[in-house]
Amino acid sequence: MEFSELIRTGRAEALLLPGPGQSPVRGTLCITSHHLLLSAGHGSPSDLWLLLRNVDAVEKRAAGNSGTITLKCKDLNVLQLEIEGLEETLDIAGSIEALSSLESVTTSYPFFYRPQSLKLGDAEDLHPPDHFYQQVALETNGWRLSTVNRDFYVCASYPTALVVPRGIGDEVLARSARFRQGGRFPVLCYYHSINGTVMLRSSQPLQGANRRRCAEDEELLKAALAQGGGRGLVLDTRSAQAVKQARITGGGTEAKAAYPGWKRLHRPLERGRPLQDSFVRLVEACTDPSLSMDRWLSRLDGCRWLTHVKEALTTACLAAQGMDREGVCILVHGAEGTDATLLVTSLTQLILDPKCRTLRGFQSLLEREWIQAGHPFQQRCAHSAYAQGRPKHEAPIFLLFLDCVWQLSRQFPLSLEFGEGMLLALFEHAYASPFGTFLCNSEKERYLCEVKTKTHSLWSSLNQSKERKRLCNPIYSPNPLALWPSVEPQSLQLWAGLFLRWTRPPEPAQEAWEQLWKIVTEKEVADPL
């Protein structure tokens, strides 16, 4: 396919209407295969350089001999362009629509992006697949690294290397995988070194209406329990009612009789359509230009987004409490085990493990618990809150995770090494990025598309020292304790930095951030004295 076929008019004169606190830009608009460029000439700093992948929805309106295009971006920004010439307007809108929704991964921008400061493949050693196992092996020898999934045959959404109880052979894993949806058999995802309890995750067992059992699956969980202290809790992220429904279609949950030592708890978390709807309604409320805002709070309430934040944090706290305070092993799963499950396991680790709260540690948590663990980023983040039409697989579960982390960072302002800038960057890159890190739905797909060798890693870009001020928390001081967040309603707040980012001038917060950095760098300069 040639990109040029999709670009009917490459150039036009246009005016970008200003957002709050900005000035308008008039200049030449240019559509390339991956970008929209609006330049006032001479490399002016106000030039617009928009990745087309970032466009979520295009609206066009004609008026006489000119037109207006409204670009609603995945990062929630809304851009308005006035374009000279009616035909140009329609052509450009059509090109943007076509180019922004290309489905092929290998023609996407990351496969063409070649920044000078980075080398291809330089992130390969940042998060090696066996790194997590090496860490665990330092603490205990109860676990081993299995390569049963080396060719993605046992489980298409798992990575090649997985950590399992030492006494469990690969053939047992393979059989357990057949008893789990999508082959996601229980694997270790966190070892709590303080008391040796563990957290595992999986997908639902394929129990079905006639309550099938699987001896190997039972053996696997029994062995895990033996390693982790004897008492276990299955945290099912669905309601008991939803599990009953799932049984009809072949799914289910762990029967008490079959898994001695494991108790079960249902903590229903929203996912899929309802979560996407909540996101869409929240963004609608945040961008509603009507001035009668006296119903804002009840509208915010009605979106239920903060309720989802609260539920996610509460569930993670529950898991963390079980491990840390009661010495219980936790197995987390819902149905597929690729959404709410990962939300809970990753949040639990942030709460308990100080290593996850550094810039590098957080990246490796994301790499392990989201990317390699098979969260289907391509499907979930295909569209953001503005897309028209019924969502197919979109759901802002990763954004919900970032929001929960932001709540943690607000309640524990010193304990995370990274700041809001990092969370905003992750949100943007998950939805549209020049880097390959969030491409595809699984390691297998990434392997087939050669993502790791043909695209640059977001991590190597973020780890450049020039990014430090934007991403890092200047007042970070390592906190060895668990972070128990308050989930009281008054403690949780709307993440204004993200949801209201484009509707208010950003300077004051920016200034405070810079001032903070200034004080801290002054300190660093003063310290060697």
Partner 1 sequence: MPSSRDGFTRDLCEEIPRLPGETRITDKEVIYICPFNGPIKGRVYITNYRLYLRSLETDSGALLDIPLGVIARVEKMGGASSRGENSYGLDITCKDMRNLRFALKQEGHSRRDIFEVLTKYAFPRSHGLPLFAFLNEEKFPENGWMVYNPIEEYRRQGLPNGQWRVSFVNKRFEMCETYPSILVVPYHSTDDDLRRVATFRSRNRIPVLSWIHPENKNVIMRCSQPLVGMGGKRNKDDEKYLDIIREANGQISKLAIFDARPSVNAVANKATGGGYESDDVYHNAEIFFLDIHNIHVMRESLRKLKDIVYPNVEESHWLSSLESTHWLEHVKFVLTGAIQVADKVASGRSSVLVHCSDGWDRTAQLTSLAMLMLDSYYRTIAGFEVLIQKEWISFGHKFASRIGHGEKNYADTDRSPIFLQFMDCVWQMSKQFPTAFEFNEQFLITILDNLYSCRFGTFLFNSEYAREKEKVMMKTLSLWSMINSDKGKYTNPFYTKELNRALYPVASMRHLELWVNYYIRWNTRMRQQQPNPVEQRYVELLALRDEYVKRLEEMKMTNSAKLSSSSASSSATSQMMPHVQTPF
Euclidean distance between CA atoms 508 and 346, whole angstroms: 32
Among 28, 296, 326, 478, binds partner 1 (CB under 8 A): 296
Distances from the Cα of 32 to the Cα of 50, 233, 431, 513, angstroms: 10, 53, 20, 35
Q: Which is nearer to partner 1, 450 or 511 (CB)?
A: 511
Q: Which two tokens stand for residue 87?
A: 């035909």
Q: Which is nearer to partner 1, 17 or 516 (CB)?
A: 516
Indicate whether 511 belongs to the interface with partner 1 (CB under 8 A).
Answer: yes
Among 61, 297, 326, 448, binds partner 1 (CB under 8 A): 297
**Residue 165: other Cβ atoms inside 10 A:** 26
Q: Which two tokens stand for residue 429?
A: 């890159």
| Least distance CB 489 / partner 1 (angstroms) | 3
Indicate whether 521 belongs to the interface with partner 1 (CB under 8 A).
Answer: yes
Region near partner 1 per CB under 8 A, out of 111-119, 154-162, 318-326, 515-523: 515-523
Among 17, 268, 503, 506, binds partner 1 (CB under 8 A): 503
Indicate whether 489 belongs to the interface with partner 1 (CB under 8 A).
Answer: yes
Please list every residue from 377 through 436 that binds partner 1, using CB under 8 A: 411-415
Q: Which two tokens stand for residue 155?
A: 């489980």
Euclidean distance between CA atoms 374 and 372, whole angstroms: 5
Indicate whether 519 belongs to the interface with partner 1 (CB under 8 A).
Answer: yes
| Least distance CB 420 / partner 1 (angstroms) | 13
**Residue 102: other Cβ atoms inside 10 A:** 17
| Least distance CB 518 / partner 1 (angstroms) | 9
Indicate whether 491 belongs to the interface with partner 1 (CB under 8 A).
Answer: yes
Mask: binding to partner 1, 302-341, rule CB under 8 A, as x and -?
Answer: x---x-----------------------------------
Euclidean distance between CA atoms 243 and 220, whole angstroms: 22
Indicate whether 28 belongs to the interface with partner 1 (CB under 8 A).
Answer: no
Tell me the site size for partner 1, rule CB under 8 A: 47
Region near partner 1 per CB under 8 A, out of 88-96, 131-139, 297-305, 366-374: 297-305
Q: Which is nearer to partner 1, 463 or 493 (CB)?
A: 493
Of 304, 378, 312, nearest to 350 by C-alpha is 312
Q: Which is nearer to partner 1, 210 or 477 (CB)?
A: 477
Give, for 223, the enclosing helix (H) or strand (E). helix 215-228
| Least distance CB 349 / partner 1 (angstroms) | 18
Residue 35: half-sphere exposure toward Cβ, Cα within 13 Å: 15
Indicate whether 478 belongs to the interface with partner 1 (CB under 8 A).
Answer: no
Indicate whether 496 belongs to the interface with partner 1 (CB under 8 A).
Answer: yes
**Residue 44: other Cβ atoms inside 10 A:** 10
Q: List, in sequence order, every residue forming a beta bridge with 51; answer none if it has no partner.
A: 35
Q: Which is nearer to partner 1, 11 or 523 (CB)?
A: 523
Q: Which is nearer to partner 1, 69 or 352 (CB)?
A: 352
Among 28, 293, 448, 478, binds partner 1 (CB under 8 A): 293
Q: Are strands 232-236 and 329-333 parallel, antiparallel or unpaired?
A: parallel
Euclidean distance between CA atoms 472 and 517, whole angstroms: 10
CA 36, 38, 43, 49 torsion-angle sign: negative
Q: Which is nearer to partner 1, 283 or 430 (CB)?
A: 283
3-state secondary structure of 373: coil
Among 134, 241, 249, 515, binds partner 1 (CB under 8 A): 515
In contact, 163 and 188? CB cutoff 8 Å: yes
Among 493, 501, 502, 506, binds partner 1 (CB under 8 A): 493
| Least distance CB 491 / partner 1 (angstroms) | 7
In contact, 456 and 434? CB cutoff 8 Å: yes
Indicate whether 490 belongs to the interface with partner 1 (CB under 8 A).
Answer: yes
| Least distance CB 285 / partner 1 (angstroms) | 8
Indicate whether 500 belongs to the interface with partner 1 (CB under 8 A).
Answer: yes
Phi, psi torsion values for 326, nearest 5 degrees: -110, 0
Angle between helices 420-431 and 359-366 (to 10 degrees): 30
Indicate whether 64 belongs to the interface with partner 1 (CB under 8 A).
Answer: no
| Least distance CB 503 / partner 1 (angstroms) | 7
Euclidean distance between CA atoms 200 and 470, whole angstroms: 34
Distances from the Cα of 39 to the Cα of 36, 47, 49, 502, angstroms: 10, 5, 8, 21
Indicate whether 135 belongs to the interface with partner 1 (CB under 8 A).
Answer: no
Euclidean distance between CA atoms 9 and 13, whole angstroms: 11
Amino acid type, 251: G
| Least distance CB 405 / partner 1 (angstroms) | 16
Q: Which is nearer to partner 1, 76 or 187 (CB)?
A: 76
Q: Which is nearer to partner 1, 179 or 418 (CB)?
A: 418
Beta strands in 32-136, from DSSP E residues, in sequence order: 35-39, 48-51, 55-63, 66-73, 78-84
Q: List, in sequence order, every residue forming a beta bridge with 69; answer none if it has no partner.
A: 60, 81
Q: Which is nearer to partner 1, 1 or 525 (CB)?
A: 525
- Counting every residue written for the chain, the total comes to 529
Euclidean distance between CA atoms 415 and 191, whole angstroms: 21
In contact, 197 and 228? CB cutoff 8 Å: yes
Indicate whether 479 belongs to the interface with partner 1 (CB under 8 A).
Answer: yes
Binding site for partner 1 (CB under 8 A): 286, 293-298, 300-302, 306, 411-415, 475, 477, 479, 481, 483-484, 486, 488-491, 493, 496, 500, 503-504, 508-509, 511-512, 515-516, 519-523, 525-526, 528-529
